[in-house]
């Protein structure tokens, strides 16, 4: 006689669970691993972490150190989201999101990383310099969205934050800066040295455009 009982999610095979989990983003997968041993095993499969998108929730520098265990050599894309927007009305919005040490660890865990997105983060430019990105040398695309930068260098005396980008990220093809009130014309002119750059997207950057003629010349737009 066949047994007829209540359906249980855990009765599903690992292959089917893996297919279901493939529709989840990294933040949800990471939380799923905390539920039970079986989900931890399946959700940790490296095939699920080629696109490690943690934008489903806010993370701090300390929290993401815990999530780093899911990154592998197959990880091609990583999305981080900080506290800036969600906790804008509280001092918590200044919680650090990323540091030079963390970026180095990311590069070691995911040497084939090609796409990095940093959203709504509070970033101290003294603790995360552009030179620190040399630990992710295969980066093709970088997106910095709605981030707050402090302790930036003062151009032209101290140079631009993007100084030596063409040396540090020789393969960079696309750079997106969205809601970047900290970026100015001098920064953009420095970026013109990056010969590998094929696409530069600047959106909601109020300090860019005052010297449009010089910017056009620096990028050889004629």
Residue numbers in the chain where pLDDT is lower than 70 = 1-7, 156, 211-222
Q: Does a structural domain hold residue 207?
A: yes
Residues 41 and 56 in one domain: no
Residues 142 and 104 in one domain: yes
Residue bearing tokens 């992710």: 136
Q: Token pair of 22, please?
A: 């493939």
Residue 125's pLDDT is 95
Residues 90 and 56 in one domain: yes
Containing domain of residue 19, as a range?
Answer: 8-46
Residue 155's pLDDT is 74
Residue 4's pLDDT is 59
Residues 19 and 126 in one domain: no
Q: Does a structural domain hold residue 19?
A: yes
Q: Token pair of 46, please?
A: 């490296």
Report how far residue 15's alpha carbon sits from residue 36's, in angstroms, rounded to the nearest whole number. Answer: 17
Residue 1's pLDDT is 46
Residues 94 and 132 in one domain: yes
DSSP 49: G
Residue 217's pLDDT is 62
Predicted TM-score (pTM) of the model is 0.90
pLDDT in tens, 35-55: 999 999 999 999 999 999 999
Residues 99 and 198 in one domain: yes
Residues 180 and 105 in one domain: yes
Residue 222's pLDDT is 40
In order of 32, 118, 203, 206, the CA distances from 211 in angstroms are 50, 27, 16, 12
Residues 41 and 79 in one domain: no
Contact present, 95 and 83 (Cβ < 8 Å): yes
Residues 109 and 180 in one domain: yes
Residues 178 and 190 in one domain: yes
Residue 122's pLDDT is 96
Q: Does a structural domain hold residue 3?
A: no
Residue 3's pLDDT is 53
Say how many Å lie between the first and final Cα of the chain, rounded: 81
Residue 159's pLDDT is 87
Residues 40 and 65 in one domain: no
Q: Does a structural domain hold residue 2?
A: no
The Cβ of residue 185 has, within 10 Å, a number of other Cβ atoms equal to 18
CATH code: domain of residue 143: 3.80.10.10
Beta bridge partners of 78: 52, 116
At 52, give phi and psi (nearest 5°).
-95, 90
Please count the structural domains in the chain.
Answer: 2
pLDDT in tens, 196-214: 999 999 999 999 987 666 6
Q: Does a structural domain hold residue 102?
A: yes
């Amino acid at each position: 006689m066949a047994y007829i009982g209540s359906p249980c999610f855990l009765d599903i095979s690992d292959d089917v669970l893996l297919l279901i989990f493939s529709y989840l983003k990294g933040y949800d997968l990471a939380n799923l691993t905390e539920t039970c041993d079986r989900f931890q095993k399946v959700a940790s499969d490296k095939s699920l972490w080629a696109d490690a998108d943690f934008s489903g929730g806010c993370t701090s520098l300390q929290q993401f150190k815990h999530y780093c265990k899911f990154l592998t050599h197959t990880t091609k894309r990583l999305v981080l989201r900080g506290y800036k927007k969600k906790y804008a009305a509280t001092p918590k919005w200044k919680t650090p999101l990323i540091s030079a040490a963390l970026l180095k660890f990311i590069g070691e865990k995911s040497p084939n990383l090609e796409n990095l997105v940093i959203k709504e983060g509070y970033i101290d430019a003294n603790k995360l310099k552009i030179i620190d990105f040399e630990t992710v040398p295969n980066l093709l695309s970088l997106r910095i969205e709605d981030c707050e930068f402090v302790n930036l260098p003062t151009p032209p005396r101290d140079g631009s934050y993007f100084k030596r980008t063409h040396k540090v990220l020789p393969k960079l093809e696309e750079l997106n800066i969205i809601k970047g009130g900290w970026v100015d014309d001098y920064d953009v002119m420095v970026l013109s040295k990056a010969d590998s750059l094929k696409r530069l997207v600047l959106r909601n950057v109020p300090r860019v455009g005052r010297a449009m003629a010089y910017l056009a010349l620096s990028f050889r737009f004629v």
